[in-house]
């Protein structure tokens, strides 16, 4: 029986109460679960429980804390696989050795206290600060950033405590073992993926940068360019008609960029055809929007997509090629696109897609954006993309004809 994650809000509420939660990352990343709690709420009992995880006892903090306490990187050149940013370990000056649960709790609380300075600590110590990136999990999908995000969302000082969870054999606890532990200890358990999706949908991340009229062969659109907080991506919306004030539900296409298909008319995929068909369908309707998201190769980037093409030339399908490169079958995230649609004033849409799972992935109904219809968009196949389309149908659930 599959186990269910807690809601992000349940985890945030637990953090606010000073409780410990379990946070897991992606199975194709570290595949690891960590105990996480708020630094300012830490007690000796909390530390003792967190240490039962058997991993490294660490304290994720923001750059301002490191600057205040004058702590720097533990090494000059970080060659760790995921670039975990270990800083100089500290003990509070009041500690005897710094190793006890009470002494670590005192050190943690003092580090989180904005009134302390470098002279309040000795170094090296037993609490390892981890430097979290500003922007949290939207910048880096690690436990360090997740801990700071959860504590910040709980309204507490943005500093956390974490410890990796090992099983009795000393290996990383499996996903099943983590769920069993959460149930036994009555702990909330969430994934970093959940936290990313929650933040993308609940925080305003997009800002209009510029817009102008754009006449095309499909009709007259308005092009709107956006910036995204914490990220360097530039999503674009092509809008036709007054999508905000209309009795007709607009057609909407959420289109991920495909350099080879959209610009070079590659026959290996159906992306370029879908792009132009969508614009044509919106043009014929006279009202709608196309959101163009920079998510090349289902989110793996152009370079990795071309590597995947080479693997497909060797006999793998598109899903197998992604897995061989260490990626999941689809790395895309539509939270930014949903925020663009909300910024455009849309509340109901007819979604141009062949993927019935996309509506669920969007979580649209939970955020006052309702998909009232899924409209198919079916370009003709050719001998180069027939296997690609069959894989999308058979392995990814797309509603495509069975040739």
| Residue with tokens 């990352």, as numbered in its chain | 25
Q: Can you list the alpha helix ranges (DSSP code H) found in 39-123?
A: 44-51, 63-69, 101-112
Q: Alpha-carbon distance 12 to 71, whole Å?
A: 29
Q: From the CB of residue 22, how many other CB atoms can be counted at a distance below 10 Å?
A: 24
- Of all helices (H) and strands (E), which one includes residue 323? helix 318-324
Q: What residues act catalytically?
A: 330, 332
Q: Alpha-carbon distance 38 to 11, whole Å?
A: 11
| Nearest CA-CA partner of 111 in 133, 100, 95, 134 | 95
Q: 3-state DSSP call for residue 216? A: strand
What are the CA-CA distances from residue 19 to residues 23, 143, 206, 229, 317 (Å)? 13, 17, 33, 30, 45
Q: From the CB of residue 343, how many other CB atoms can be counted at a distance below 10 Å?
A: 15
Q: Alpha-carbon distance 46 to 38, whole Å?
A: 10
- Going by the DSSP 8-state scheme, the letter that residue 173 receives in this structure is P
- What angle (nearest 5°) sits at the alpha carbon of residue 20, between those of residues 84 and 148? 40
| Nearest CA-CA partner of 60 in 156, 127, 5 | 127
Do 148 and 158 form a contact (C-beta atoms < 8 A)? yes
Q: Alpha-carbon distance 108 to 47, whole Å?
A: 10
| Nearest CA-CA partner of 328 in 339, 338, 319, 317 | 319
**Which residues face 289 on adjacent strands?**
239, 252
DSSP 252-315: EEEEE--IIIIIT--SSSSHHHHHHHHHHHHHHHT-EEEEEE--HHHHT-HHHHHHHHHHHHTT
């Amino acid at each position: 029986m599959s186990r269910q994650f807690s809601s992000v809000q349940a985890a945030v509420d637990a953090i606010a109460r000073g409780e410990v939660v379990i946070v897991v990352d992606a199975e194709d990343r570290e595949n690891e679960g960590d105990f996480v709690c708020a630094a300012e709420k830490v007690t000796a009992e909390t530390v003792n429980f967190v240490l039962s995880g058997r991993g490294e006892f660490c304290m994720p903090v923001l750059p301002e804390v490191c600057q205040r306490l004058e702590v720097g990187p533990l090494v000059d050149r970080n060659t760790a696989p995921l670039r975990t940013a270990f800083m100089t370990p500290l003990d509070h000056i009041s500690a005897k050795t710094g190793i006890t649960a009470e002494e670590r709790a005192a050190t943690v609380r003092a580090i989180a206290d904005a009134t302390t300075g470098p002279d309040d600590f000795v170094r090296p110590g037993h609490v390892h600060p981890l430097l979290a990136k500003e922007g949290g999990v939207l910048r880096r999908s690690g436990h360090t950033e997740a801990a700071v995000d959860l504590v910040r969302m709980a309204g507490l000082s943005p500093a956390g405590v974490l410890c990796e969870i090992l099983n009795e054999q000393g290996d990383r606890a499996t996903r099943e073992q983590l769920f069993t532990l959460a149930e036994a200890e009555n702990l909330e358990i969430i994934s970093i993926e959940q936290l990313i999706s929650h933040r993308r949908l609940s925080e305003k991340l997009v800002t209009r940068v510029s817009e102008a009229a754009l006449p095309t062969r499909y009709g007259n659109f308005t092009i709107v360019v956006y910036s995204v907080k914490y990220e360097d991506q530039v999503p674009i919306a092509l809008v036709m008609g007054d999508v905000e004030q209309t009795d007709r539900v607009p057609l909407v296409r959420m289109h991920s960029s495909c350099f080879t298909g959209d610009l070079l008319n590659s026959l290996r995929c159906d992306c370029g055809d879908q792009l132009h068909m969508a614009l044509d369908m919106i043009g014929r309707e006279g009202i709608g929007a196309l959101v163009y998201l920079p998510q090349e190769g289902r989110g793996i980037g152009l370079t990795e997509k071309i590597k995947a093409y080479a693997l497909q030339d060797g006999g793998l399908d598109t899903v197998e090629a992604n897995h061989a490169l260490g990626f999941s079958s689809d790395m895309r995230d539509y939270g930014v696109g949903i925020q663009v649609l909300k910024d455009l004033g849309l509340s109901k849409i007819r979604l141009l897609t062949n993927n019935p799972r996309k509506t669920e992935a969007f979580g649209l109904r939970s955020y006052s954006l309702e998909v009232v219809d899924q409209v198919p968009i079916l370009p003709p196949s050719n001998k180069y993309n027939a296997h690609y389309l069959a894989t999308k149908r058979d392995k990814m659930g797309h509603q495509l004809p069975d040739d």
